[in-house]
Each structure stands twice: as C-alpha cells, then as structure tokens.
Amino acid sequence: MTTSSYLWWQTGVIYQVYPRSFKDTTGSGVGDLWGVVEELDYLDQTLPVDAIWLSPFYPSPMADFGYDVADYTDVDPLFGDLEVFDELVERAHQRSIGVIVDLVPNHTSDRHPWFIESRSSRESLKRDWYIWAEPQLDGSPPNNWISVFGGSAWEWDEFTEQYYLHSFLKEQPDLNWRNPEVKKAMFDVVRFWLERGVDGFRVDVAHYIMKDPHFRDNPVDPERGRSIHRPMGDYDSQFHIHDSGHSDVHDIYREFRQVLDSYSDERPRVSIGEVHIFDWEEWVRYYGENLDELHMPFNFTLLNVPWDARAVRDAVDSLEAALPDGAWPNYVLGNHDESRLATRYGREAARVAAMLLLTLRGTPTLYYGDELGMTDVDIPADRQQDPWILDTAKMGRDPCRTPMQWSPKPNAGFAPPHVDQLWLPLAEDYETVNVQVQLKNPTSLLQLYRRLLTYRRRKPVLQRGAYRALDGVPPACFVYVRTDVGPSSDGWERLLVALNFSSQAQRICVDSWGAGSLSLSTHLDRQGPVDLGDLTLRPHEGIIVEVSDR
Ligand code: GLC
C-alpha cells in the first residue's frame, strides 16, 4: 500500500456519540442533535477526533432507544429535524470531521408503516417484507430460535394467525432480506443519507440479516455460556448457527458496498459492521473475499478478554494473523452496549487502555465519556430504562449510557440547570469527573486522551506503521513496536510502546533496541532520553518511546 492510498477512516479516530446522552439543548432531559452541533469544537479542538458515529436519531417509539426505527429517512423530533442534521454535517465537514450514521437493516419498529401494512393481512403486498411463519402442529413457534433479549424469537399475531420473527424485542420485527423489494428499499435509505453528505454507516447487527432459509432449529449448546461473549441468559443455551450469519449475507454486503463506492469518488465513504462473531475465519469473511464487502467488521475481541498483558497481546496477535492482505484492523474498548471501560479495568488501568487503543495498528473507536473515565452508574429500579434488564436480570445497558459530564454545574452541563429530571440519572462523581475540571488539571485522563490523539495525528507511524509484539518482557507487560518508512538514518521510523498492566513496577530490558526518547507517559509527567536496556515502568504506566537507533 503506498502512503497516499491510506484513507481517512484508516488513519483517523472515530468517536461514538450516543445522542440521547451527549447534550440536551431543549430541556427535554434527552440529548439532541443541536447539542452535538454545539460541541463540535470539543470534538475538533479539545480531543481531536476525525469522525463521529451517531447512534440512531430516527423517528422511533424508543422501545430500544432508537434501534427500533419507525422512519429511516427523518429525524425524531426529540433529537431535531433534517435541517439540524444537515447543519451538523456541514459544520462537521468544515472541521474535517466525518459523520457516520447508524443503519439498522435487520429490523424495523413494529410501528413502521411497512410492518403495519405487512401485519394488516396475509394478502398484504408487504406481507413478505417481514418473516412470517406457521405455528407447529401444537401451536408452538415455528422453531427454537431465541431472541437476543431472551424468550422465543417468534411472536404470535392474533389477527393473521401466524408468527413473526424478532431477533431482538417483539417491537423489532425482522425484515426479510430475501425479498428484493426490501433490499431495494433499504439501499434507497442508504442513498438518501449518502446524498445528504454522510461519510459512512455503522451497520447494526450486520450478521443478522440473513438466516437459514429452511428455519432449522439451532443446536443446543450443552455448556451454556461457553461462548466467549459475556453471559446472555437464555440466549446462551444454543449455538446460533441458523438464526443469523447465513452465508447469503455476503451477497448483500457486496451490493451494499457497490452503492457506497458509487458515492466514493470525491470522498471515500465507509461501512463498519457490528458483527458479534468471535471465530476469526468467519469474522474476516465480512471484509469480503476480494475486500469488496464491509470496510471493517467491528473487532470486539478486547471487550471479552481480561485486563491481562498476555491475553491482550494474544488477542492483538491473533487478529493480525487472521487479517487477509489489505484488510484494515480496528479496535473497540467501549460502546453503548457494554460496561464502561473504567469500570471494567479501574481508573488507573483505564489510562493504559487509552494508550493501547490509540497506538495499536488500526482504527480506534472511542465511546463518549470514556475520555473522562466515566464509570457505570447504578440506576435505581424506578429509573431503569433499558428493556433488556426487565427480561434478564443484571443485563441492562443504562449504566453505560448516563449523561455526558461536561462541567460541575447542575445537570453537569448536559442539560439546562432548571431541568428536573434527565432521562437517566447522572453519575454521582460528576462534580469532579467532567470536561471543565479535567481541562484544568494537566495530568487528567482527558489531558492524556488529548495528548495521545494529537500525538497520533502527528505520527504517520502510529496511523499506518507495521505492528510487532516483543518477547522477553515481564509477563505483566505488553510491549510492541510500530514501524514505518521515516526520517531516521536507516530510513525507518520506530516507536516502542510499553504497557504495564500491573500495580507493581516492572523492569524492561530491550537492549537490542538501543536508545530512545520517551515522548509520552500515561502519567503525563516524564519525557526525554531513556535507555531501552534498562527501563522501569511504574505501576499502571504506559509509555511511548521514539527509538533513535538499534
Ligand atoms: C445492536 C445495538 C443495540 C441494539 C441491538 C438491536 O446490538 O448496538 O443497542 O439493542 O442492536 O438493534
């Protein structure tokens, strides 16, 4: 790959905005798109990032907080309107920030006019836009498929006396992607947003859209929960081989990519798939055999490994080994479905995790508030919102979706001070953990993110250099080198990243790498020449060293 062939989404950093929780300008207690417009300087000047991914802002009854779309080509009045969306895109582009929107192709809301029509009669012209099936002889659902949120994935419709499939809530009926009209309608949606200037899509549960055409039962998993993702109740009792990920899915993404490519001449657009598949061979197929499907399936591996140097290194090495030539890696450490990074690892390790995420080879995606060390918030029972918790105890995602902490003011600067109730309660620590306070503290986590992001922008070696892990380091450390053609005497630029995963100091000797200059420590308190033959990392410290010779 020549230097010029690197695209913005490969060299850049993506920041996920969960619009409900970012900034409320109207006093509804819920964030909105004007709030995102207001904070573009934060995203551009304070952090800075290269693109934002906006979780759904489409009209929705909010059964799954926007992932139940009732109209794919409009904005829910709670969040704004198309005019503010256009303004957001324009102003983001003025700052060279790309805008990635969420595409939810697997299901609509049950209030979407397509479903209302489909449900109206067996003869409806849109009947086959969704997945309807007869009961078994005893009246039970057509097969044993289980919804991700628990219980049968089939819902009985009294009126037309058939079951419909919903892989998530019953309010989220699955579309039938085997019907060419559905594909056409959804690709029209894709064109609608591309024409409005969006830079790409994050495709919701991308692997779910094609299921076994014969609706065969999923085999039972005798060791429930053995799968490597977090425990998911009922859902773990099966191997999900027939209800999602059918290989016909790849034809769809090849066509989807062609639509995107037809808009990419001037400005390359990107597609990122939410693909919860943890078998590399199966996962890499979403790039396409000829890299002609999704630009990147999200890589969630690090969310499922413990904070342990060996486990993290193995996850990175195995991804690097699995990637086909030319396929671009990416890493995720948090999103609106997962426990917060600072809760999973602790606040000290969260600093090392920031350095990890922003120095690995591939596109990092940051989740709003992780740059402050926001933690999961305990939500009292009477304030819980996420429908998932109602069915499966302890599984709600509210704790990681609480309002962004901008300042120590009432409502944390998230909403006007007079607003009595925010859609989710604020974290108790908002008076100390917020943007305003952390900007005043030269060693805060936010300052670390700023330094890492600006450093990464200046260093092409971090954006595109090769990655290699080093052996012979203490077991509590993960040490790797990023290498690229560069200005040094031998024509190479090398950065060494050394991360201490433990609460004890660790001594590292990488003699063969000679001398270097420490450019950034996660403690933000040291810089300058270091001897790579005798380097001590303090507890929970990560460093970046520019290697001058070897
Ligand atoms: C994805 C979203 C999640 C949503 C689900 C159903 O996993 O990230 O928030 O509940 O899809 O749309």
**β-pairing, 492-500 with 542-547?**
antiparallel
pLDDT digits (tens, 9 = 90+) for 249-293: 999 999 999 999 999 998 999 999 999 999 999 999 999 999 999
Nearest atom (ligand 1) to Cα of 149: 10
For residue 26, pLDDT over 60 is answered with: yes
Which residue's alpha carbon is at the smallest distance from atom 7 of ligand 1?
Answer: 205
- In the residue annotation, 195 being an active-site residue is answered as no
Poorest-pLDDT segment among 29-33, 178-182, 222-226, 330-334:
222-226
For residue 3, pLDDT over 50 is answered with: no
pLDDT digits (tens, 9 = 90+) for 414-443: 999 999 999 999 999 999 999 999 999 999
pLDDT at residue 232 in the model: 84
Query: Which structure tokens are listed for 442?
Result: 């030269």
Residues 410 and 133: their CA atoms lie apart, in Å, by 52
Which residue's alpha carbon is at the smallest distance from atom 5 of ligand 1?
Answer: 67
- In the residue annotation, 281 being an active-site residue is answered as no
Q: What is residue 55's three-state secondary structure?
A: coil
DSSP 8-state secondary structure symbol assigned to residue 45? I
pLDDT at residue 511 in the model: 80
Closest by CA position to 85, among listed 28, 17, 12, 29 = 17
pLDDT digits (tens, 9 = 90+) for 290-348: 999 999 999 999 999 999 999 999 999 999 999 999 999 999 999 999 999 999 999 99
For residue 1, pLDDT over 50 is answered with: no
**β-pairing, 466-469 with 363-367?**
unpaired
Query: Which structure tokens are listed for 411?
Result: 């409502």
Quote the ligand 1 centre to 386 CA distance (angstroms): 11
Indicate the top mutation candidate among 18, 201, 202, 204 to test ligand 1's pocket, ranked by most ligand atoms within 8 A of CB.
204
Nearest atom (ligand 1) to Cα of 106: 12
Nearest atom (ligand 1) to Cα of 335: 8
Quote the ligand 1 centre to 205 CA distance (angstroms): 7
Quote the ligand 1 centre to 410 CA distance (angstroms): 31
Which residue's alpha carbon is at the smallest distance from atom 12 of ligand 1?
Answer: 67
Contacts 24+ apart (CB under 8 A), 302-307: 302/331, 302/332, 302/333, 303/332, 303/333, 303/334, 303/338, 304/228, 304/229, 304/230, 304/278, 307/344, 307/345, 307/349, 307/353, 307/501
Quote the ligand 1 centre to 334 CA distance (angstroms): 14
**β-pairing, 162-165 with 132-133?**
antiparallel
How many Cα neighbours within 13 Å face the side chain of 180?
A: 0
Residues 6 or more apart whose CB falls under 8 angstroms from that of 441 comprise 447
Backbone angles phi and psi of 527, in degrees to 5: -155, 165
Quote the ligand 1 centre to 336 CA distance (angstroms): 9
For residue 70, pLDDT over 70 is answered with: yes
Which residue's alpha carbon is at the smallest distance from atom 4 of ligand 1?
Answer: 67
394 near 376, Cβ under 8 Å? Answer: no
pLDDT digits (tens, 9 = 90+) for 484-522: 987 766 778 999 999 999 999 999 999 887 789 999 999
pLDDT digits (tens, 9 = 90+) for 202-259: 999 999 999 999 999 999 998 886 655 677 888 999 999 999 999 999 999 999 999 9
For residue 550, pLDDT over 70 is answered with: no
Q: Helix crossing, 347-359 with 445-458: angle to 10°? A: 10
Which residue's alpha carbon is at the smallest distance from atom 9 of ligand 1?
Answer: 337
Indicate the top mutation candidate among 21, 69, 174, 205 to test ligand 1's pocket, ranked by most ligand atoms within 8 A of CB.
205
Residues 281 and 278: their CA atoms lie apart, in Å, by 9
Indicate the top mutation candidate among 337, 389, 391 to test ligand 1's pocket, ranked by most ligand atoms within 8 A of CB.
337
Quote the ligand 1 centre to 467 CA distance (angstroms): 32
For residue 128, pLDDT over 70 is answered with: yes
For residue 2, pLDDT over 50 is answered with: no
Alpha carbon 162 to its chain's center? 36
Closest by CA position to 363, among listed 407, 319, 400 = 319
Catalytic residue from among 204, 370, 398, 546: 204
Catalytic residue from among 174, 199, 243, 274: 274
